[in-house]
Chain A
Amino acid sequence: MTVNGDVEKGRPEAIRAVPVRHPGRWAGAAVVLVLAAMFVHFLLYNPAFNWSEQWKYLFSEPVLKGVRNTIWLTVAAMAGGIALGVVLALMRMSPNPLLKGAAFVYLWFFRGTPLYTQLLIWGAIGALIPTIGIGIPFGPELHTWQTQKLINVALAAALGLILNEAAYMAEIVRAGILSVDPGQQEAASALGMSRMQTMRRIVLPQAMRVIVPPTGNETISMLKNTSLVAAVPYAELTFTAQTIYASTYQIIPMLIMACLWYLFLSTLLMIGQYYLERHFSRGVGNSGRGRGGLRALRGGGGQ
């Protein structure tokens, strides 16, 4: 009945067994390799890609301007969408039935109609609201502007994306806040923290763990949805590509070139998302670090 001392003698030889063969995996790998070779051949030898034409325009002035517009639209739409989304989420969870109802109607409209249609309306906003004024509601106006002059195409495009995105962000933020254990708010209240402090220091940082991954997806979606502002119309990346091929007739090369830019930008966003998620998973389990994230980029682990 001794426990120690026998370790040396007692340890059996390490197992060396013949591994199970997986012929199915080998066959699958062969099929994938052949398809990959065919795809590379297609990329290299199909003249329709016209890589040299793409290279000519990839860093040209109008394309770079389109890329810049795409980037600032994405940033503005997400920043505005998140800010307005937080407000809408708090309104929806408010005990005041009017605030709650207003937020619900907002969500109902902006989630219930297509973004493309909303952007078309923004393009024609001057027809809907000819003038914008400051004054007393239903009373005299102090000053009025022509809507067409006040809201140029860039602003109309940004507003269209922001108002639409806010509706989706509101639901993401609300889900995040609801995911936080109510005991956390109680503990904060019991310590004498105010409602604002509790929200900012305790609830939101924990809600972020639930909010960040779908927000990353929203950002990547937004990067691509900016192409819809061609409806306004505003010259972002896709619209610029269209303008170029309208005169050169090189349709596929210009569209592929736009895709390359989108891929480059969305890759940057995915990397950013990985680090954000890692930051907000602090304190969740011992293996919290490095959970999920870049695995998607590496192409899913597992053997």
Chain B
Amino acid sequence: MTVDKTTVTDSKAERPPMVKAEQVHKSFGHLEVLKGIDLEVQPGEVMCMIGPSGSGKSTFLRCINHLEKIDAGRLWVDGHLVGYREKGGKLYELRDREVAAQRRDIGMVFQRFNLFPHMTALENVMEAPVRVKKEPKDAVRERARALLERVGLADKMHSYPAQLSGGQQQRVAIARALAMQPKLMLFDEPTSALDPELVGEVLEVMKRLALDGMTMIVVTHEIGFAREVGDSLVFMDGGVVVESGPPREVLANPQHPRTRDFLSKVL
């Protein structure tokens, strides 16, 4: 249960890991934020990432869908190199169009929701399938309605984001990401901007999503969620993975002093 040995059974050995990171480095100017991240996420796995702010969790998440470019190392999603093509031992940057195509299969939920404020909840959910995938509007509308019902917002379809509570906005944001039928969902502190009484409704939606078998990486401060829903837990600090393993083990019996120190503050 030290670095990186997750207890996933190898029954589907031919399937590549959904996410594989090898020595991922990332700097902003002189500040090195990621100092060599190695990890794997298997299909269907829910991985929670915890750690103090500034530890690089969010940056790593943003590297996975190429919102940030990595400086060194390799990052694969579903067997495909993120942002680059490797040919004859040389790396070629992907064109904007190709990067966009990679992102289609990766849903992302942001701390600050980032709903499109000039569109209703329904229009927010429909936008990407209609514009990006060019799916017929009627079919998308049906799917969008079903998704909004699934996150408990059947009566809010025609509301603008400003008319919704934070919890409702975040649930619309989850439905918007799901509308693209992604194979991987990234959650960047999805409940950190919410009033305490609204956290539960969002976690509930995420929990059901996990039970449905979605592969998820969740950067969070909700230790309870990590323990209950996560298949694996990663503790990051100072740009490295300090400790990882099954959540109950890491939380009950942290091996590294920095993990112990962090958990003693948040638990």
**Interface residue total, chain B, C-beta cutoff 8 A:** 31
In the complex, besides A189-B103, A190-B110, A283-B119, 12 extra interface pairs with C-beta distance below 8 angstroms are A183-B110, A186-B67, A187-B116, A189-B67, A191-B127, A191-B128, A191-B132, A192-B132, A193-B100, A197-B131, A283-B118, A283-B161
Given known contacts A190-B67, A192-B132, is B117 in contact with A284 (CB within 8 Å)?
yes
A152 within 8 A of B: no
Q: State how many angstroms separate the Cβ of A190 from the closest Cβ of chain B.
A: 4
- In the complex, the answer to whether A190 meets B118 with C-beta atoms within 8 Å is no
Residues of A within 8 A of B180 (CB): 191-192
Residues of A within 8 A of B161 (CB): 283
- In the complex, the answer to whether A282 meets B118 with C-beta atoms within 8 Å is yes
Q: State how many angstroms separate the Cβ of B163 from the closest Cβ of chain A.
A: 6
Stretch at the interface among A33-41, A134-142, A199-207: A199-207
A10 within 8 A of B: no
- In the complex, the answer to whether B128 meets A193 with C-beta atoms within 8 Å is yes
Q: Report how far A210 CA is from B101 CA in the complex, Å.
A: 32
7 A-B pairs with least C-beta separation: A192-B104, A187-B114, A283-B160, A191-B128, A190-B108, A183-B114, A192-B103
A113 within 8 A of B: no
B residues 33-65 near A (Cβ < 8 Å) are: 65
Q: State how many angstroms separate the Cβ of A113 from the closest Cβ of chain B.
A: 38
Q: State how many angstroms separate the Cβ of B158 from the closest Cβ of chain A.
A: 11
- In the complex, the answer to whether B100 meets A194 with C-beta atoms within 8 Å is yes
Q: Report how far A254 CA is from B160 CA in the complex, Å.
A: 52
- In the complex, the answer to whether A206 meets B117 with C-beta atoms within 8 Å is yes
B112 within 8 A of A: yes
B265 within 8 A of A: no
- In the complex, the answer to whether B110 meets A187 with C-beta atoms within 8 Å is yes
Q: Report how far A251 CA is from B176 CA in the complex, Å.
A: 65
Given known contacts A283-B162, A284-B117, is B127 in contact with A192 (CB within 8 Å)?
no
Interface SS majority for chain B? mixed
B residues 76-108 near A (Cβ < 8 Å) are: 96-97, 100-101, 103-104, 106-108
- In the complex, the answer to whether B103 meets A282 with C-beta atoms within 8 Å is no
In the complex formed, the residue of A with least CB distance to B132 is: A192
Q: Report how far A193 CA is from B131 CA in the complex, Å.
A: 8
A residues 170-209 near B (Cβ < 8 Å) are: 181, 183-184, 186-195, 197, 201-202, 205-206
Q: Report how far A194 CA is from B128 CA in the complex, Å.
A: 10
B residues 132-171 near A (Cβ < 8 Å) are: 132, 160-163
- In the complex, the answer to whether B96 meets A195 with C-beta atoms within 8 Å is yes
A285 within 8 A of B: yes
Most central of A186, A187, A189, A284 by chain B CB within 10 Å: A187
Residues of A within 8 A of B97 (CB): 194
Q: State how many angstroms separate the Cβ of B182 from the closest Cβ of chain A.
A: 10
20 A-B pairs (CB sep. < 8 Å): A183-B110, A183-B114, A184-B114, A186-B110, A186-B114, A187-B110, A187-B114, A191-B103, A191-B180, A193-B128, A194-B96, A194-B100, A206-B116, A206-B117, A206-B118, A283-B119, A283-B120, A284-B117, A285-B162, A286-B163
Q: Report how far A184 CA is from B128 CA in the complex, Å.
A: 13
Q: Report how far A187 CA is from B101 CA in the complex, Å.
A: 15
Residues of B within 8 A of A286 (CB): 162-163
Q: State how many angstroms separate the Cβ of A185 from the closest Cβ of chain B.
A: 9
Given known contacts A192-B101, A193-B131, is B114 in contact with A282 (CB within 8 Å)?
no
Residues of A within 8 A of B160 (CB): 282-283
Residues of A within 8 A of B115 (CB): 187
- In the complex, the answer to whether B176 meets A191 with C-beta atoms within 8 Å is yes
Residues of A within 8 A of B106 (CB): 190
Q: Report how far A28 CA is from B65 CA in the complex, Å.
A: 65
In the complex formed, the residue of A with least CB distance to B133 is: A192
Residues of A within 8 A of B176 (CB): 191
Residues of B within 8 A of A285 (CB): 162
Q: Report how far A285 CA is from B100 CA in the complex, Å.
A: 32
In the complex formed, the residue of A with least CB distance to B123 is: A283
Q: State how many angstroms separate the Cβ of B152 from the closest Cβ of chain A.
A: 21
Q: Report how far A272 CA is from B189 CA in the complex, Å.
A: 44
B residues 7-39 near A (Cβ < 8 Å) are: none
Residues of A within 8 A of B177 (CB): 190-191
- In the complex, the answer to whether A283 meets B103 with C-beta atoms within 8 Å is no
Residues of A within 8 A of B104 (CB): 191-192
- In the complex, the answer to whether B132 meets A197 with C-beta atoms within 8 Å is yes
0/1 string, A255-296, CB within 8 A of B gives 1: 000000000000000000000000010111110100000000
Residues of A within 8 A of B114 (CB): 181, 183-184, 186-187
In the complex formed, the residue of A with least CB distance to B124 is: A187
Residues of B within 8 A of A192 (CB): 100-101, 103-104, 128, 132, 180
Q: Report how far A191 CA is from B132 CA in the complex, Å.
A: 8
Q: Report how far A280 CA is from B120 CA in the complex, Å.
A: 14
